[in-house]
Amino acid sequence: MIYTVTFNPSLDYVIALDALETGRINRTKKEHVYPGGKGINVSVVLANLGYDSIALGFEAGFTGKMLREMLDQSGCRTDFIHLNEGMTRINVKINAGKETEINGQGPEIPEEAVEELYRKLDRLQKGDYLVLAGSIPRSLPSDMYERILGRLEGRGVHCIVDATKELLFNVLRYHPFLIKPNQYELGDMFGKTLETREEIIAHAKLLQDMGARHVLVSMAGDGAILVAEDGTVIQEKASEGDVKNSVGAGDSMVAGFLAGYLGTGSLEKAFRLGQAAGSATAFAYWLAERESIKALLDGPADSYGL
């Protein structure tokens, strides 16, 4: 089974305007509310690709109730922990020529709720995949992901971590199966701006020296580079298309990679399905659907396990 964990889910309020001006009333041309949060997005795209997963995380308040309902309707299985105080955040995604995002802080997660999540994770079995993705609320310590991987160590659970800075650095010694920083996040981890292919590969390898297995570096419209555990490097440009809203492109890429890997066992197919899923999301108002992903694949969909 695949599990995703989203510590700080959201409702994403996605709006489109011709232009955004501060200090005045702006009116939207288009608006929509979607379930959000990185792990949840991974679960939604996995479901669109025909892969079952269970989305774990925390929800609270009327927004949390709505999040559950929306995910139920979309056929995505959840096993959230309900918090009695606060409310699931609403993140605002503004498409006005440029993309601007305002992400909320989210509710406080008490110690008992974290313990409840640990108990759920204790039930994972050998061969399961666990995706940890996104920020954690400020009330929690920055070694949260490390504690989870430490607890799962030696149990044969394959972990995928899509996080930045300390959250990511701290988990490397547990040899995560896959990490997916974007080009800027990777540079940021070393206090640098990475521009060339060589610089990106060299820094991905530094993360492998610290314990990561496969490192997938996404580069938005420029595509992605996979530095595999055995040193193989796969790089490809992204498909060209009309970008509508790239929020969730990275999460879609993680979902596509995992689906491709589970469906074929091939890192190359996984990489290509990941790229197609990321681009299909960028070319849509929200997360990629199965058909739009298939349309961006090179070769027949069944050769990707779809």
Ligand X SMILES: O=P(O)(O)OC[C@@]1(O)O[C@H](CO)[C@@H](O)[C@@H]1O
Ligand Y SMILES: Nc1ncnc2c1ncn2[C@@H]1O[C@H](COP(=O)(O)OP(=O)(O)OP(=O)(O)O)[C@@H](O)[C@H]1O
**What residues line the site for ligand X (CB under 6 A)?**
8, 10, 12, 36-38, 41, 91, 101, 103, 134-135, 247-248, 250-251
**CA gap 21, 16 in Å, rounded:** 13
Beta carbon nearer to ligand X, 38 or 213? 38
57 neighbors 37 (Cβ within 8 angstroms): yes
8 near ligand Y, judged by CB under 6 A: no
How many whole angstroms separate alpha carbon 70 and alpha carbon 56? 15
Put residue 294 in one of left, alpha, beta given phi > 0 → left and psi -120 to 50 → alpha: alpha
Handedness of CA 214, 215, 218, 222 (dihedral sign): negative
Q: How far is the CB of 220 from ligand Y (least distance, A)?
A: 4
Residue in 230, 251, 298, 302 annotated catalytic: 251
188 binds ligand Y (CB under 6 A): no
Backbone angles phi, psi at 216, to 5 degrees: -110, 115
d(CA 167, CA 161): 9
**What is d(CA 250, CA 237) in angstroms, rounded to the nearest whole number?**
15
- What mask of x and - would describe binding to ligand Y in positions 228 to 267, judged by CB under 6 A? ----------xx---x--xxxxxx-x--------------
124 binds ligand Y (CB under 6 A): no
42 vs 267, which CB is nearer to ligand X? 42
Residue type, 297: L
Binding segment (CB under 6 A) for ligand Y, from list 28-36, 140-148, 171-179, 213-221: 213-221
* 251 carries an active-site annotation: yes
| 183 or 208: CB nearest ligand X | 183
**Dihedral Cα 204, 206, 211, 212, nearest 10 deg:** 0
What the block records as the tokens of 147 is 């504690």
At its nearest, how many Å lie between ligand X and the CB of residue 196? 26
85 contact, one of ligand Y, ligand X, none, CB 5-8 Å limit per kind: none
- Residue 6 CB, nearest distance to ligand X (Å)? 7
State the CB neighbour count (10 A cutoff) for residue 109: 23
Q: Give the residue numbers annotated as catalytic, written as ranges.
A: 251
Q: Which residues bind ligand Y (CB under 6 A)?
A: 182, 218-221, 223-224, 238-239, 243, 246-251, 253, 275, 278-279, 282
